Amino acid sequence: MAVATLSAAKCRGTRIDGKPCESQIVGPSGCCYAHDPTVAEDRAKARRRGGLASSAISRTRRLAPAALRDVYTILERALAEVHSGVLSAGQATAMASLARAMCHVLSVGEMEQRLRSLEESLGDFQSL
């Protein structure tokens, strides 16, 4: 596989929505990895590997709290949209920042709940 480089040139490929691809990570073919016809077989192999990995990811997702699963799904979509030029890097950065804050709030809430539960258990123990 050819090494892609970051340059001022943009990919010659076309996105699914018919607009030109905005990726600036362009290989010798003048296309990004997603649109490069010379690495189509590599992409197919990567998709198959991704399918195997996604089963592990989906198992991990089921273990996460529902609110975090939704955040992950949205961020995963944003990553693809930044790559294809649909979403600006600035918008993605703002989304990631908000997601971090949401995760922090959920984490603090969970810790509060666990502490309350421990204190209640301690209270039950002391009343014996």
For Zn ion, the binding residues (CB under 5 A) are: 11, 13, 21, 23, 32, 35
Q: How far is the CB of 45 from Zn ion (least distance, A)?
A: 19
Q: Which residues sit opposite 6 in a β-bridge?
A: 25
Tell me how far, at minimum, the Cβ of 27 lies from Zn ion, in Å: 10
Q: Which is nearer to Zn ion, 2 or 64 (CB)?
A: 2
Residue number with CB closer to Zn ion (11 or 71): 11
Question: Going by C-beta distance under 8 Å and a sequence separation of 6 or more, which residues neighbour residue 42?
Answer: 1
CB 75 within 8 A of CB 99: yes
Quote the least distance from Cβ 11 to Zn ion, whole Å. 3
End-to-end CA distance of the chain: 70
| 3-state class (DSSP) for residue 113 | helix
Nearer to Zn ion, 43 or 61 (CB): 43
